[in-house]
């Protein structure tokens, strides 16, 4: 068996194993979500000498995110102008003219404002989120964010509950050993191939 055949053989085996993993993940994921709905806690299982399985993010509440970048940037620009970057666009063929006399020349321009990403992440984490309600108090599928210091509703920001995700993690030592074993198997196979080639050459002589 040459290296191409071996590669294809292992790829076929990988496809078979991946199909098994996908089916088992689906079963465990369904079991984890049922337990989460029943108990209200994110399940976690572990096997000594192997690793762990957990439903990640099941205990997290709604997280704020920017739904309308323009509204959010305008809001931030009015209160913290140093945290906003403004980009002015001009026609490329008039760039030199614009640089020399932008404020005097009759050049069509458009401006785009963008909040600094590092500051935006920190600010969003500081916000409180509330769910909108119908007049009778029934929760709606809409969220809004509130600045806890000012009590203002922050324009352009909403919130969402990220769906939980099943995470399968091998112990570091287990993963490292598996990689070592794979490398050793490849080296052994290469040695066998080299020995076979030498024997064939000797037989031909």
Its pTM stands at 0.55
Domain for residue 173, yes or no?
yes
pLDDT in tens, 160-196: 888 889 999 999 999 999 999 989 988 888 777 766 6
The reply to whether 69 and 39 lie within a common domain is: no
Q: Which residue has the higher pLDDT, 111 or 48?
A: 48
87: containing domain: 63-160
The reply to whether 53 and 139 lie within a common domain is: no
3-class SS of residue 179: helix
How confident is the model over 41-66, as a mean pLDDT?
Answer: 89
Domain for residue 205, yes or no?
no
The reply to whether 32 and 87 lie within a common domain is: no
Domain for residue 203, yes or no?
no
| pLDDT on residue 31 | 94
The reply to whether 53 and 12 lie within a common domain is: yes
| pLDDT on residue 89 | 73
What DSSP character marks residue 153?
B
User: Which spans in the chain are helix H?
Assistant: 3-39, 69-79, 95-101, 117-126, 172-204
DSSP code per residue over 19-44: HHHHHHHHHHHHHHHHHHHHHSS--E
Q: Which residue has the higher pLDDT, 135 or 74?
A: 74
DSSP code per residue over 73-94: HHHHHHH-GGGEEEEEE--GGG
Q: For all residues of the chain together, what is the average pLDDT?
A: 84
| pLDDT on residue 13 | 94
How confident is the model over 26-38, as a mean pLDDT?
Answer: 92
CA distance 189 to 193: 6
The reply to whether 55 and 67 lie within a common domain is: no
**CB count, 10 Å around CB of 199?**
10
Which range among 27-31, 93-97, 195-199 has the greatest average pLDDT? 27-31
Task: Using the Cα atoms of residue 47, residue 49, residue 55 and residue 58 in order, give the sign of their dihedral.
Answer: positive
8 Å CB contact between 25 and 168: yes
């Amino acid at each position: 068996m040459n290296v191409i055949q071996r590669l294809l053989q292992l790829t076929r085996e990988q496809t078979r194993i991946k199909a098994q993993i996908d089916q088992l993940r689906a079963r465990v994921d369904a079991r984890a979500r049922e337990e989460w709905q029943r108990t209200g806690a994110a399940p976690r299982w572990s096997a000594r000498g192997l690793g762990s399985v957990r439903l990640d993010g099941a205990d997290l509440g709604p997280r704020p995110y920017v739904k309308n970048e323009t509204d959010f940037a305008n809001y931030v620009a009015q209160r913290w102008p140093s945290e906003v970057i403004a980009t002015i666009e001009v026609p490329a063929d008039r760039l030199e003219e614009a640089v020399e006399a932008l404020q005097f020349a009759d050049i069509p321009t458009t401006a785009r404002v963008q909040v600094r990403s590092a500051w935006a992440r920190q600010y969003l984490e500081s916000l409180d989120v509330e769910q909108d309600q119908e007049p009778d108090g029934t929760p709606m599928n809409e969220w809004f964010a509130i600045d806890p210091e000012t009590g203002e509703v922050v324009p352009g920001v909403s919130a969402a509950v990220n769906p939980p995700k099943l995470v399968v993690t091998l112990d570091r030592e287990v993963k490292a050993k598996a990689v070592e074993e794979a490398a050793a198997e490849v080296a052994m196979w290469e040695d066998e191939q080299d020995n076979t080639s030498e024997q064939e050459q000797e037989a031909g002589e």
